Amino acid sequence: MTKTVTSTAADPTVAAGTSQFLSPIVLGLQALTVNGKQAHWHVRGANFIGIHEFLDTLVAHAGEWADLAAERIVALGLPIDARADKVAAKVPATGAPAGFAQYDEVIAGIVADIDAILADVQAAVDGLDEIDLSSQDVAIEIKRGLDKDRWFLAAHVAE
């Protein structure tokens, strides 16, 4: 006996709404992985080891969260375009210096990148409340993690 599996394709409206809100997050997080690694290589000054090592953690988290959001979009049946040119068009290189920089400059730039992503994440949390609660959970998980990583990084320059 053959068992037939019925596809449970997502409602196209839900998929489109989810993609609208999660795609900018994917692009921002992809940029953060690149900018965070650039900053990791070039940070100088006080607390070098702590900042240098934490930037690697931040990069790993950003990559995991980008994957989480992208896979949610794909699971709902839509593609995600996060190629380098799309990431660069959405998020110009802002947070990472082109070369060596003091820790406070590096932190300010990366925190600014995180803040820009958090704005997109908050828009997703708010917008997905009416569209798809499972996708909203993805945005909430990313927000929780980004808030924590922002705190850990900004603590290096807090007074």
Q: How many domains does the chain have?
A: 1
- Tokens representing 134 are 């499972």
In a domain, 4, yes or no: no
pLDDT number for residue 4: 39
In a domain, 109, yes or no: yes
pLDDT number for residue 6: 38
In a domain, 33, yes or no: yes
In a domain, 3, yes or no: no
One pLDDT digit (tens) per residue for the chain, 159 residues? 555 333 446 799 999 999 999 999 999 999 999 999 999 999 999 889 999 999 999 999 999 999 999 999 999 999 999 999 999 988 766 778 889 999 999 999 999 999 999 999 999 999 999 999 999 999 999 999 999 999 999 999 988
- For residue 101, is it left (φ>0), alpha (ψ between -120 and 50) or beta? beta
pLDDT number for residue 28: 97
Query: What CATH number does residue 144 fall under?
Result: 1.20.1260.10
In our burial notation (b when 16+ CB lie closer than 10 A, e otherwise), range 79-102 reads ebebeeeebeebbeeebbbeeebe
Does the predicted TM-score (pTM) go above 0.85?
Answer: yes
In a domain, 5, yes or no: no
Q: Are 153 and 47 in contact (CB under 8 A)?
A: no
CA–CA dist 92, 27 (Å, integer): 11
In a domain, 110, yes or no: yes
In a domain, 17, yes or no: yes
Its domain, for residue 53, covers: 12-154
In a domain, 100, yes or no: yes
